[in-house]
Structure 1
C-alpha cells in the first residue's frame, strides 16, 4: 500500500484569529452558546441580538468571521433577513430555528447554508456547537470528486464547497488515481459509477489496493435505479453510497460521517505515535516511518543523515530538582528542537528518557552538521525557566551519514557510537 505523507500532518487545532458570530435575541441562550463555543473551539464569539447589531458587526469586521450562527426569526427580522445578511457577505452560516416545515426548509436550503439545527430538544445546544466545530474542521478535509459529466461534477463540488470542504475535481478514474498520487492531502474520494475508462467499482478496488482505509475513504454515487449498485460499491472497497439526485441533508450527513471517522482515526493514530510527555513522535513511529523516508531519499539518489541527541547530566537534574522539573525541562527542550528543525525535511522523535533521534533525509553530512551545531549552540545559550529554577541545559550529539546499504538500525548504532565519543570528550558537543 502507498504511504501518504499527509497522514502525518498536524490535526486541526483552533489557531484561527477570526471570530464566531452568534445572532440570537435570547440573552440566556446567547450567553450559554458563547461559553460553549469558546470553550470547545478556542475562538472568540461576537453576539448580536438584532438585525441592526448584526449589520453593524459585519460592516465593522466583514472579513473576521469564521462562521455565523443565526436565529432564523428575530423581532426586527422575522423573515430570515439576518440569514440573508450573513450569506450575502460570504460568511458560512448555521441556522437555528424553532419553527420548521417544508417551506422553511426550502427557504433555508436555497441559501446554501452550512447546516440548520432545530430547537426541538435538550440536545439542540450541543448539536449546534457540534455543527460549528464541523464547519471549522471541514476545512482540513480534502475531497476528490470523480465524474465524467462536467455539469454534475461541478454541482456536487459546489455542494461540498458550501460545506467548507476543500474540493478537487477530475473526469476519469485514471485522472483520479493520478491526482491521489500528486495530492497527498486528499482524504475522501466521491466517485460516480459510470465512467468511460473504468467504472466506479474498479476505481474503488484500485484505491483500496493502494491506500488503507484510515488514509483514504471512498463514497460511491449513482443515479441508477438498480439497488445492487450500492452493494457493488461496498464490495469493491467503498465505505458508503449515495443515490442521485441527492437529498442535500443526506449528502451532508454521509460526507460528514466519513470525514469524522477519518479524523477520529487520525486522532487514534496520533495518540499511538506521539510521546505523551513531549508531544514529539515516539520510538515506535520513528522505526515505522523512518525506513520509508530513507527509501524515498535513496530512490531520489539523495543522502540521509541520522543523529542521536542526549541531554547532558539529566539524571543529576532529576536527582537535584525532582522528576517534575525534569519533565518540564524535557518539554521545553523538545519544543526548542521542534522549532529549530522547522522548514527542513526531518523526522524527530523521543526514543526514551532524555534521548532523542533525528532523521534528515536529503541532507549531506556537512549540511546536517552545520544545522545541528547551530541547534546545539542555541540550546547551550538558552536559559530554561522551569518552576523555581533557571536551568542551563546542554546536549551531546552523535551524527552519522547513511551509506547506500545501511539500515536505519545500523545508522543509529553509528550515531550512538559518535554520541558516546562526544560525551567522553567533555559533553556539550557534536561528534560525527
Structure 2
C-alpha cells in the first residue's frame, strides 16, 4: 500500500521517474544491465529477502544517496543508519508519513540549488557543520572569520543562507548579523546562529536582531538538519515571490522597483571593493510618435523586442531594468566610464542595425543614452540624475547617440 501511494505522489506531484523494487533480488537485477542513473533511493530497511539493512548497504555501494522510509525503528537503528550517512529518515508510524516523505524528497532534490556559507572559528566545529550540511547536498562555502564571511558574501553571488557561530575570533555573531543586514537587506540571505550558551536570552536577542533561526549546541543531527532545511525552504519561497515582484509585466526584465532596491547594494559593494562602475539610461527615440502612428500594440512589440535584445547583450553580469515607458536603466559592474561608453555605443549601433518586425513591417528603432561614472559615495538618485542629464544632452544633440562626461569633454575640446 505504501509503495503504490508513494510512487503515485512522487510521479504526479514532483514529476519524478520512479522505479519500484519489492525485493533485494529486484534491486540487484536492475544493476546487472545498463542501469539508469538514480539520484536518490527511498528504501525500507527490511525487505522480504534482505531483513538486515542489506538494501541500504547495496545502494550506498552503488553511489546512490539513500533516504530511509521504514516501519522498524529504534534508537539503535537510528544510530546505525546515521553512521552510514543517510540523507534523512521517515518512520511509517502515522497517517502523515507519506506526506512527510514526499516533502523530504522534494527538500533533498532542491537543496543542491541552495548555497550555504558556514562561519565558525573553531576548525573542528566548522568541519562538523560542513559535514552535516554536505550530506544534505547543499552547496557549501566555509570560512573561519566574520571578515571572511563578509568578503564571501560580496564576491560569491547567490549565497542563500549563512550558518554562523556567535563566538567568532574577530567579531561576535551579532555584529556579523548587523553587517549582513546593512549590506544585503533583510531578505537577500537567511542567517542561522549557533551557540553553546545556555542563556535563553541569547536566542531571543539574535532573533530580535534579525536572525532567522537559532540552534543551541550541542544539537541532535535531526534537529540541525530540520532547522536548516526549514530555513532553506522559506528562503526559496521568498526568492520565488521576489522574482515575481521584480519582473516587468510586459518585457520580463527587471522593473523599476528592483532597480532601485538592488542598485544601491551593488554600488555599495563596488565602492567597498574599489571596483569601477557606471550607470546608463537608455531611451527609445520617438517612441510617442511610434505609438501615435502604429498604435500601442506595435509599441508593445517594440518594447519587448528591444528588451530581449538588451537582455541577450547585457546578460547577468550587469543589471538591466525597464524604468518605465520606453526608458531602461543599466548598471555596468566592473566597467569604468570609458569601457562602459564603448559598450553603450555597440549596443546603440546593434539596435539600430536590426529592424524590428511589427505586424509584417520592418521598423528601424534607435535609442539615445546617457552614461555616468559611479566613482564616489553619493545617493543613488544622484548617479541616476547624472545619467539622466547626459541622456537629455543626447536627445538635444539629435538622438541616436550616447552622451557622457567623456563625450562632453570631447565636444568642448573640438
Give the structure-1-normalised TM-score.
0.73
Instruction: Specify the alignment match of 1:415 in structure 2.
Output: 391
Once the 2 structures are TM-superposed, how far is the Cα of residue 25 of structure 1 from its aligned partner?
A: 8.5
Aligned partners of 1:295, 1:145: CA distance in 2, in Å? 24
Aligned to 1:217: 190
Question: Deviations 1:355-394 (Å, cap 9, x if unpaired)?
Answer: 544444513323321134224434x2x768xxxx667554
Alignment of 1:21-420 (within 5 A): 26-27=3-4, 29-38=6-15, 44-50=16-22, 51-55=24-28, 64-234=37-207, 237-290=210-263, 293=266, 300-301=275-276, 303-309=278-284, 313=290, 334-342=307-315, 345-353=317-325, 355-361=327-333, 362=335, 363-378=339-354, 380=355, 392=362, 394-402=364-372, 407-412=383-388, 414-415=390-391, 418=394
Residue deviations 1:316-373, cap 9 Å, x none?
Answer: 6556xxx5x9767755654443223226x32222234555444445133233211342
The C-alpha deviation readout for 1:241-289, integer Å capped at 9, x for no partner, is 2222321111111112222232233233323321133321112222444
Partner SS for 2:106: helix
Give per-residue Cα distances to partners, 1:187-230, cap 9 Å, x unaligned.
Answer: 33323344444444454455445443313333232344454443
Over 3 Å counting, the alpha-carbon distance change for 1:212 and 1:349 in structure 2 is: closer
Q: Is the 8 A contact 2:279 2:387 kept in 1?
A: no
TM-aligned CA distance change 1:315 to 1:255, over 3 Å: farther
SS at match of 1:395: coil
Question: CA 1:60–1:359 in 2, change beyond 3 Å: closer, same or farther?
Answer: farther
Change (3 A) 1:244 1:77: same
The SS at the match of 1:100 is coil
Residues in 2 aligned to 1:25 and 1:77: alpha-carbon distance in whole angstroms? 18
CA separation in 2, counterparts of 1:140 and 1:215?
15
Gaps of 5+ in 2: 376-381, 404-414
Are 1:144 and 1:189, in contact at CA under 8 Å, matched by a contact in 2? yes
Query: What are the ranges of 5 or more consecutive residues in structure 1 without an aligned counterpart?
Result: 1-23, 39-43, 424-428
SS where residue 67 of structure 2 aligns?
strand
**Change in 2 beyond 3 A, CA 1:189/1:395:** same
Pairwise CA RMSD of aligned residues? 3.9
